[in-house]
Amino acid sequence: MSVCIYQGGYNTVRKSGVGKALEHQAAALKSAGVPLVGEIPPAGPQAKGCVVHLNTVLPDAPLAAARAHARGCKVVYYGHSTMEDFRNSFFGSNLLAPLFKRWLIFCYRQGDVVITPSVYSRRILMGYKIGRPIYTLSNGIDTGFFKPDPDRAARFRARYGLAEGQKCVISVGHWMVRKGLPDFVELARRMPQVRFIWFGHTDKALLTEEIRRAMESAPGNLLFAGFVDADALCDAYCGADAFAFLSHEETEGIVVLEALACGIPTLVRDIPVYDNWLEDGKSVYKADSLEGFASKLRDMLDGHLPSLQEGGLAVAEARSLHQIGQALCRIYASGGFLDAALAEPGACRVPQQKKARSRA
């Protein structure tokens, strides 16, 4: 068998979690020995052994699904988005949310199967009545790249002029209410002795009025560093003292996996998506209010709470790209995509006894 990870719209989503998911799928499949092809193959024997991955809900994606089916390929549609995580994102998103849900349903129905990254997002999509098998599989994390590194830590602290002993808290994401940016700004205001840095960017034309006000009123100890590449982001995870991801809604949260893989103490909002895989006090700390965030964060920075590094690293390792590659092979087998390919030695190494621990 072979897999085509459809690249249409990649430049549009490159700086988002969806773009990172495309890259993770390629690496995971390579680790499992699955050949990748750059384009949907023409009709014929090659197409009948090809699985096409679709990751976006841009207008070209359903057309690509139709083209793949017409040529005899199987289609895996990734359910990265829900109406729930579309709300409170960009200017006008709440008004468009019901229409967006209808579009999502149409798109996901073009897949032979749907893969979504968490039990929580699967529960939401099951409620959409898509009529396709829906599997849960984490987007995964490159634990060979994202890992604790004292040299990276030193580079980050030097780059941002952090003196020895200076505490620093980071967050990552688009400039959105959903991502918890207003609460992050307020935390910085309440903790003036701590340096706060937000990595990420959103086109100013898409900002809501609430986000504009929050950013304009941000205190001097908060820096909006903009979009940075993976190397600089990994440096930040390694060198900061805490990662505060205050998002109100996620389907998984790739940046949380990146942070845990780098061993940084992590604080998240207590929302349903984390219920069955991130345990408060074992791999992360959770809170559900601004007062709770401030209290937990102060205790984390002052050393009054354990770092939970070991538990966080275990969560990340269970979702390593090697584990995800093996799990994808099992999904292909469950979906009947491997009937012919299993006769090809090394085409897809599906473990028969030892099962990966990859769960979302």
* Domain at 256, CATH number: 3.40.50.2000
pLDDT for 269 beyond 50: yes
Q: Where are the alpha helices (DSSP H) in the chain?
A: 10-13, 17-31, 45-48, 60-70, 83-86, 93-108, 119-127, 150-159, 181-190, 209-216, 230-239, 254-261, 290-301, 309-318, 321-334
Residue 253 resides in a domain:
yes
User: What is residue 134's DSSP assignment?
Assistant: E
Residue 173 resides in a domain:
yes
Cα–Cα dist 181/245, whole Å:
9
Tally of structural domains, the chain: 2
81 with 203, same domain: the answer is no
285 with 176, same domain: the answer is yes
* Structural domain containing residue 330: 2-140+320-343
pTM of the model: 0.90
* Range with the poorest average pLDDT among 244-258, 264-278, 322-336: 322-336
Mean pLDDT score across all residues of the chain: 92
For position 338, what pLDDT does the model report? 63
For position 340, what pLDDT does the model report? 39
311 with 170, same domain: the answer is yes
pLDDT for 324 beyond 50: yes
Strand partners, 134: 114
Residues 6+ apart with CB under 8 A from 145: 230, 234
For position 360, what pLDDT does the model report? 35
124 with 103, same domain: the answer is yes
Compute the average pLDDT of residues 178-191: 98
Q: Which amino acid is residue 192, in one-letter code? A: P
Compute the average pLDDT of residues 279-306: 97
pLDDT for 353 beyond 80: no
* CA nearest to 134, candidates 152, 144, 117, 122: 122
Q: Please tell me which residue, 336 or 19, carries the higher pLDDT value.
A: 19
Compute the average pLDDT of residues 252-257: 96
161 with 17, same domain: the answer is no
41 with 159, same domain: the answer is no
pLDDT for 354 beyond 70: no
* Range with the poorest average pLDDT among 51-60, 216-225, 330-339: 330-339
CA neighbours within 13 Å on the CB side: how many for 295?
7
Gyration radius (Cα) of the chain, Å = 21
Residue 232 resides in a domain:
yes
pLDDT for 125 beyond 70: yes
201 with 277, same domain: the answer is yes
Compute the average pLDDT of residues 231-240: 98
Q: Are 157 and 239 in contact (CB under 8 A)?
A: yes
204 with 248, same domain: the answer is yes
* Range with the poorest average pLDDT among 14-23, 152-161, 272-281: 14-23
